[in-house]
Amino acid sequence: MPEESNGVGRSPDGLPEEPNGVGRSPDGFCHETEEQKGRISMKHVKTLNTKRLQNTVKRGGCGECQTSCQSACKTSCTVGNQSCENK
Amino acid sequence: MVHQYKNNGYNIVLDVNSGAIHIVDDLVYDVIPLFETCTREEIISRLGQNYPEDEIIEGYEEVKTLVEQQQLFTEDEYENYMEQFKERPTVVKALCLHIAHDCNLACRYCFAQEGEYHGRKALMSYEAGKAALDFLIAESGNRRNLEVDFFGGEPLLNFEVVKKLVAYGREQEKLHNKNFRFTLTTNGVLLNDEIMEFANREMANVVLSIDGRKEVNDRMRPFRKGAGSYDLIVPKFQKFAESRNQEKYYVRGTFTHNNLDFSEDVLHLADLGFQQISVEPVVAKPTESYALQEEDLPKLFEEYDKLAVEMIKRWKENRGFHFFHFMIDLEGGPCVAKRLSGCGSGTEYLAVTPWGDLYPCHQFVGNEEFLMGNVTEGIKSKELQKEFKHCNVYAKEKCRNCFAKFYCSGGCAANSWNFHGSITDSYDIGCELQKKRIECAIMIKAALAEETEGTC
């Protein structure tokens, strides 16, 4: 099946991608191309990410990432927006 | 587990266990809830009134492909992993140093009781701070990145000690192959050029407290004699943010029952030129006049929706800004171990009082039940440490069937304790707001992905 480009390869601020083709916006988020993600073209579905959390079990946790309350929250727990330091 | 919802014209489907997120059309949105319990023919029959048969078959096949690709209806493989996870060796990697139990503001919602944490005014001595850094290095095992937040009260009331501790940390990190990431949380009153220059050199992040619009900020963040703090702090924060190239900082506010239209405060901060913004719901006893109530939720949801739409608009106009609670890293986010363990309070993250006592986090400071030990003798309450170590999303009944469990990781233990007297419960209003924020954050990703479609 042909690869589809639904265009998450560019940072939200429109900055060009890094030379290796992986775009990174100022917030540090990663924006891989469709090809890199191995996405399947579908008529009714667009997949935003193909990450499988299960795969990260095998790697265990290196623990080098930021503690969530040290970033900005201090009164809530916001873990999902932390970035992995060991991508 | 699958969570599907509609927001801002998008049909969004989240496969909770894999983390996969799909944007689907109305047909597939209707097929998915039937997929696991109905045959293909039953689905055709049930949806036949709304969609042509060949389209339904097409949609059905696409759902089936997602299932085969393990991107939909994936199994929860983590619960079995929990036993092993609970026995993990823990290290301490982050300290919240209460460098000053005193404050030059008298914020009405302060969980630290105007900086004093239900106790006495005190400034941390250099010796106590040094012992805290030594404790952190000694307890950090092979973790290289160590985080130290200078917190209060107001840490700039004790800035000389902050400077000396940073110098000590820089010296020690070389000797022990560590990397200290210092951060500072300040109300800005004492901020000056010297402090900014120091922070720009040494602080990996700074958190600048301001609530938003002048009247909102000044109502809740006055000086002790009642005058507002807005006019003094805004120019300093603007200068500070610019001097940090608009990164590695947050202006951080709190919204309360008094400003349910908090999206206006976020946008006000953005209009002041700030690009890194965090505005959070207050956590207070329900009896406080400013506490958020359950009946406030519909209005607050509306505000998050409004904010999300405006943020998309601004990004498209190249004047976007980051809102901490809408940031979500769909591809490079935390691993499962992190998502299960949450904030790490009581295990890898501890708070240190000015006199060196250890608590599970800054919010427990002053509650003697949670005194864990001190920086010279280490953790003395192993039971307490174990209790926090075993606190995870599977230990919380309310989290089991919640789609947000791998994003909030079970929520804040202190909030749970404050509302229910247990760290394995959850603060219900906080949960509802957290879920809404996650929904909005994903929708923003969908909208921005669509915006750049075909351009890359």
Percent of chain B with pLDDT over 70: 99
B362 touching A, CB under 8 A?
yes
Question: In the 8-state DSSP scheme, what is residue B145?
Answer: E
- Cα B14 from Cα A53, distance rounded (Å): 13
Q: Mutating which of A33, A40, A45, A56 best tests the B interface, going by the most B Cβ atoms within 10 A?
A: A45
Please name the member of A26, A52, A78 whose beta carbon is closest to the beta carbon of B408.
A78
- Cα A11 from Cα A19, distance rounded (Å): 14
A49 compared with B33, residue with greater pLDDT: B33
In chain B, which residues have their Cβ closer than 8 Å to the Cβ of A23?
456
Q: Are A9 and A32 in contact (CB under 8 A)?
A: yes
Q: What is the mean pLDDT of residues B94-122?
A: 89
Contact criterion met (CB < 8 Å) for A12 and B332:
no
B456 touching A, CB under 8 A?
yes
pLDDT, tens only, B315-356: 999 999 999 999 988 887 888 888 887 888 999 999 999 999
A69 touching B, CB under 8 A?
yes
Contact criterion met (CB < 8 Å) for A85 and B27:
no
- Cα A49 from Cα B421, distance rounded (Å): 38
Task: Tally A–B CB contacts below 8 A.
Answer: 269
For the cut 70, the answer to whether the pLDDT of residue B164 exceeds it is yes
Strands B94-98 and B145-151, how do they pair?
A: parallel
State residue A38's pLDDT score. 52
Percent of chain B with pLDDT over 90: 84
A3 CA to chain B: closest CA distance, Å?
12
State residue B364's pLDDT score. 94
- Cα B344 from Cα B364, distance rounded (Å): 14
Q: Are B309 and B378 in contact (CB under 8 A)?
A: no
pLDDT, tens only, B403-428: 999 998 888 899 999 999 999 999 99
In chain A, which residues have their Cβ closer than 8 Å to the Cβ of B62?
42-45
A41 touching B, CB under 8 A?
no
pLDDT, tens only, B375-396: 999 999 999 999 999 888 888 8
In chain B, which residues have their Cβ closer than 8 Å to the Cβ of A29?
327, 329-332
Q: How far apart are the first and last CA of chain B?
A: 33
Please name the member of B283, B335, B451 whose beta carbon is closest to the beta carbon of A84.
B335
State residue A60's pLDDT score. 67
Is omega for the bond preceding B430 within 30 degrees of 0, making it cis?
A: no
pLDDT, tens only, B275-310: 999 999 998 888 999 999 999 999 999 999 999 999
Average pLDDT over all residues of chain B: 94
Neighbours of B170 (CB within 10 A): 12
Residue B77's alpha-carbon distances to B17, B73, B406, B414, in angstroms, are: 8, 12, 13, 28
A69 CA to chain B: closest CA distance, Å?
7
In chain A, which residues have their Cβ closer than 8 Å to the Cβ of B278?
72-73
Please name the member of B70, B349, B412 whose beta carbon is closest to the beta carbon of A52.
B70
With cut-offs at 50, 70 and 90, classify the pLDDT of residue B183: very high
- Cα B311 from Cα B299, distance rounded (Å): 18
Residue B265's alpha-carbon distances to B261, B300, B318, in angstroms, are: 8, 13, 20
State residue A5's pLDDT score. 34
With cut-offs at 50, 70 and 90, classify the pLDDT of residue B358: very high
In tens digits, chain A (87 residues) has pLDDT values of 333 333 323 333 333 333 333 333 433 333 444 444 556 689 999 999 877 888 887 766 788 888 878 777 777 767 777 778 776
Strands B2-7 and B10-15, how do they pair?
A: antiparallel
A9 touching B, CB under 8 A?
yes
Q: Are B270 and B314 in contact (CB under 8 A)?
A: yes
State residue A17's pLDDT score. 32
pLDDT, tens only, B42-66: 999 999 999 999 999 999 999 999 9
Q: Mutating which of B338, B419, B426 best tests the A interface, going by the most A Cβ atoms within 10 A?
A: B338
A20 touching B, CB under 8 A?
no
Give residue for tokens 């805004």.
B234
Record the tokens describing residue B244, joined without a space: 């940090």
State residue B370's pLDDT score. 97
A84 touching B, CB under 8 A?
yes
In chain A, which residues have their Cβ closer than 8 Å to the Cβ of B315?
12-13
ipTM: 0.88
B389 touching A, CB under 8 A?
no
- Cα B224 from Cα B115, distance rounded (Å): 12
Q: What is the mean pLDDT of residues B127-138?
A: 98
